[in-house]
């Protein structure tokens, strides 16, 4: 079994019970809280399905406050946090 230093944070927005895994090195595995699959490098962008923009934006701010540097979305390639459309 492999272990790594990470924590799980509640990050509602896509759904009320959404969670994100944040590693000690600042990588965030966010599921559908963000997506990055637009052609021509025009992403990342708002998830196409979500409760509303406010909880998504609040969860992104939570990730910023935790020192996240890289986002790993469920759909598309990883990207730098500062590319989120805040």
Structure tokens at 5: 């230093």
**Predicted confidence (pLDDT) at residue 77 exceeds the cutoff of 80:** yes
CA distance 70 to 48: 20
Which domains are seen in the chain, by residue range?
6-83 (3.60.15.10)
pLDDT for residue 40:
65
pLDDT single digits (tens) 23-72 = 999 999 999 999 888 766 667 777 777 778 899 999 999 999 999 999 99
3-to-6, 39, 44, 53, 70 alpha-carbon distances in Å: 9, 35, 30, 34, 20
Q: Tell me how far apart the alpha carbons of residues 56 and 11 are, in angstroms, rounded to a whole number.
A: 8
Bridging pattern class, strands 70-73 and 27-31: parallel
Q: pTM to 2 decimals? A: 0.88
């Amino acid at each position: 079994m492999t272990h790594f230093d990470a924590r799980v944070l509640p990050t509602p927005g896509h759904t009320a019970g959404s969670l994100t895994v944040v590693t000690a090195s600042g990588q965030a595995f966010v599921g559908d809280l963000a997506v990055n699959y637009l052609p021509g490098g025009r992403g990342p962008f708002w998830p196409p399905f979500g409760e509303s923009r406010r909880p998504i934006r609040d969860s992104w701010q939570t990730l910023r406050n935790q020192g996240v540097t890289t986002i790993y979305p469920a759909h598309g390639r990883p990207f730098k946090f500062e590319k989120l459309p805040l």
